[in-house]
Amino acid sequence: MNILITGGAGFIGQRVAMECLQRGNLQIDGKPSNAIENIVLTDNAEPPFWHEGLRDDSRITTSFGDISDEAYVNSVFDQKFDVVFHLASIVSGHGEQDFDLAMKVNLDGARYLFEAIRAQHNNAKVVFASSIAAFGGDSMPEQLSDYSKQTPLTTYGVTKVIGELLINDYSRKGFFDGRSARLPTVIVRPGKPNLAASSFVSGLFREPLSGEPCVIPVDASQEMPVLGYRSIVNGIIKLAEIPAEKFGTDRAVGLPAFNTNVQQLMDALKQAAGNRHLGEHIMKKDDQIVAICSGWPKQVDTTRAQELGLPMDSSIEQIVLDYIDDYLD
């Protein structure tokens, strides 16, 4: 089995690769696949760090280039891929700063990738990383589900909706077997903050656990659905394994999530940290971040995801303990 991960040098991309390597194969349509022989990680540049041992595994190949360059995308397909995890994306805040770049990478890049997969003629499993930022606007209900109307208020969200629709249509046409993973806010990401509007949510845990202060740019009452990175990674892989008929005509699935707010996240950190010295939280509003976050879903109904067997953490405190175990201790 050959696997391609775009955005493979990113945090989630690396952890998806690590999980696949550890498993050795996937359970495709309820049956064990052939052993994983090669995982190609593509990204636009080398990351600040690689997870220990990842690049030492003989099954890992890396490739760096611009996914909005059709020639580069086609050059990656010098072999056939059985599973493609499409994680590469310009994130929310960056997309608001640079509309043209978001369209080039998130929209044109997706099309080039989907066409290259289509040209393989091997009905590859394709998992597209979407986002709950695909929802928003005046029509958004208090609690949304997979069947709520999509009226996003960010360029990033718009490109995710288009990607979801392309996944549905390419699958309907039989070009490949696709599904979209609508991700809630992922916690806790290690490393430095990125340009995602939700980046502060990981910082809320990460910086205090390192004894550093963290600026919170929204009110403590700001609501948001969140999920731990272990469940995100396992959920993305699980979506590749589920038989196509389980999805029906809509291949986009919102991953399970905790409906919470900033204050509850800060309280969970203190509970999980125990006797650790924590850096302080500094409440300082950023109007741009507030505007973006206020347009996102506040609560989600993920009954469908749970019926499909997608994993969920036992508690927010457990997510924090997992991060401490994986990245601090």
Distance of CA 64 to the CA centre of its chain: 20
Q: Report whether 19 contacts 234 (CB < 8 A).
A: yes
Residue 130's SS3 state is: strand
Whole-number pLDDT of residue 57: 95
Whole-number pLDDT of residue 40: 98
Q: Report whether 188 contacts 323 (CB < 8 A).
A: yes
Report whether pLDDT(121) > 90. yes
Whole-number pLDDT of residue 303: 93
Beta bridge partners of 258: 226
Mean pLDDT of 92-118: 95
Tokens found for residue 107: 């929209």
Q: Which of 43, 32, 327 is nearest to 209 (CA)?
A: 327
Mean pLDDT of 124-146: 92
Q: Report whether 315 contacts 196 (CB < 8 A).
A: no
Q: Per CATH, which fold does 187-224+258-300+314-328 belong to? A: UDP-galactose 4-epimerase; domain 1 (3.90.25)
pLDDT tens digits, 176-190: 999 999 999 999 999
* Bond prior to 161 in cis (omega within 30° of 0): no
| Residues 301, 138, 260, 165, CA torsion sign | positive
Report whether pLDDT(197) > 80. no
Top-confidence range, 46-50, 91-95, 190-194, 308-312: 308-312
Rounded to an integer, what distance in angstroms lies between the CA atom of residue 236 and that of residue 87? 10
Report whether pLDDT(233) > 80. yes
| Residues 242, 247, 252, 258, CA torsion sign | negative
CATH of domain 2-184+229-254: 3.40.50.720
Q: Which of 135-139, 155-159, 218-222 has the lowest mean pLDDT?
A: 135-139
* Predicted confidence band of residue 92 (pLDDT cuts 50, 70, 90): confident
Catalytic residue from among 72, 147, 156, 323: 156
For the entire predicted model, the pTM comes to 0.94
Tokens found for residue 47: 């990351």
Q: Indicate the domain borders of the chain.
A: 2-184+229-254, 187-224+258-300+314-328
* Predicted confidence band of residue 139 (pLDDT cuts 50, 70, 90): confident
- Check if 327 is active-site: no
Angle between helix 109-118 and 155-172 (nearest 10): 10
Whole-number pLDDT of residue 196: 73
pLDDT tens digits, 144-195: 999 999 999 999 999 999 999 999 999 999 999 999 999 999 999 998 877 6
Whole-number pLDDT of residue 137: 85
Count of C-beta atoms within a 10 Å radius of residue 146: 16
Name the residue with tokens 């939700």.
198
**112 vs 94, 166, 271, 291, CA distance in Å?**
21, 12, 46, 32
Q: Which of 248, 223, 227, 230 is nearest to 299 (CA)?
A: 223
- Arithmetic mean of pLDDT over the chain: 94
